[in-house]
Amino acid sequence: MIFIDACLRKKTPYTPIWMMRQAGRYLDEYKATRKRAKNFIDLCQRVDLATEVTLQPIDILDVDAAILFSDILVIPYEMGLPLEFKEGFGPQFLQTIDNEESLGMLKSNAHARLSYVYECVDSVRKRLAKDKALIGFSGAPWTLATYMIEGHGSKSYEKSKKMLYQNPKLLHALLQKLTDEIKQYLSMQIKAGANAVMLFDSWANALEKSKYLEFGWFYLQDIASYLKTMYPQIPLIAFPRGVGAFLESLHGKFDVLGIDWQIDMKEAKEKAGDRFVLQGNLEPARLYDYSSMKEGVISILEVMRNSGHIFNLGHGMIKDLPRENAISLVKLVRELSSKYA
């Protein structure tokens, strides 16, 4: 698998490519499958539908890796927090964590109630071509904690930051609970057939450097150390979004570090390329225009030169991006990166 080889810094004939949110609303096929589910949670829990959605980008785009279709919030959902997905608003927890009592009400062993995820991994891996990798994933402890505290996505994270400064012991206790669940959750995905696993810390940029290292990256390192001890051959990917200002401070047993589009790839390579294979970092909006997309691709490939690099977007696909440009992007990366082989 070229994707796995690249994760492990092995020589590849071209730079492998996949895209965050490559299964999504920019694909008519996804929208058709989505209509067959009662709601978004049902889509995640229906193994047949989740398998179908996971495989669509492989069939349509010919990317080098599939990523499991699920949602980062299934862990807190299975820990007992009621969850709704409202059209135009996004996910919302109907209960939140704000004190020791609410923390104590969380159910343990959430990973044991996520069999539908592991069944989807198994189902996809059986249908996926042998040369295509399957990426399992989880939300990172800090990002999951913010949703559980705020109740929904936030721009300012007042409740989470208030807890961090006024009751750090409570926040650490929540983060440890999540860390313990994530270790087992990703272990089960690996056992079910995932070839690599990724941790999304989407709200890493909410914290200053010292606090992110304490309340965010510390727990990611703990998860990585555990998984590398258990499954040393499985590549581990971290995506702490928005931390370009202190990439040089990130260390740990991850093989791959996701880079968002807000930092130049040359700078990211200088700060972290000696420790991690880098994944990224095309600005997703460049896909609106082919010439802009090509310009961005060339800029990134000239820096990375098919060495220590997996091509991806700097964040997820936007819902109205033209699918023909997504298809062209895959072809373009293969064609242009092969000259550096």
The mean-pLDDT minimum among 75-89, 91-105, 266-280, 307-321 falls in 75-89
Per the annotation, the verdict on 36 as an active-site residue is no
Average pLDDT, the chain: 97
How many residues are there in the chain? 341
Per the annotation, the verdict on 255 as an active-site residue is no
Q: One of 5, 9, 25, 231 is an active-site residue; which one?
A: 25
Residue with tokens 């040393």: 232
Q: One of 14, 77, 118, 147 is an active-site residue; which one?
A: 147
Q: One of 9, 34, 127, 305 is an active-site residue; which one?
A: 34
Percent residues over pLDDT 70 in the chain:
100
CA distances from 78 to 8, 10, 62, 72, 313 (A): 33, 38, 33, 11, 30
Please say if the pLDDT value at position 88 is more than 80.
Answer: no
Per the annotation, the verdict on 71 as an active-site residue is yes
Distance CA(286)–CA(325), nearest Å, equals: 10
pLDDT digits (tens, 9 = 90+) for 183-214: 999 999 999 999 999 999 999 999 999 999 99
CB atoms within 10 A of CB 31: 12
Q: One of 5, 9, 21, 264 is an active-site residue; which one?
A: 21
Tokens of residue 81, six digits: 């927090």
CB atoms within 10 A of CB 341: 12
Per the annotation, the verdict on 147 as an active-site residue is yes
Per the annotation, the verdict on 305 as an active-site residue is no
The pLDDT-based confidence of 49 (bands split at 50, 70, 90) is: very high
Residue 90 has a pLDDT of 83
Domains contained in the chain, CATH given: 2-340 (3.20.20.210)
Q: One of 5, 42, 71, 264 is an active-site residue; which one?
A: 71
Please say if the pLDDT value at position 87 is more than 80.
Answer: no
> What is the reported pTM?
0.97
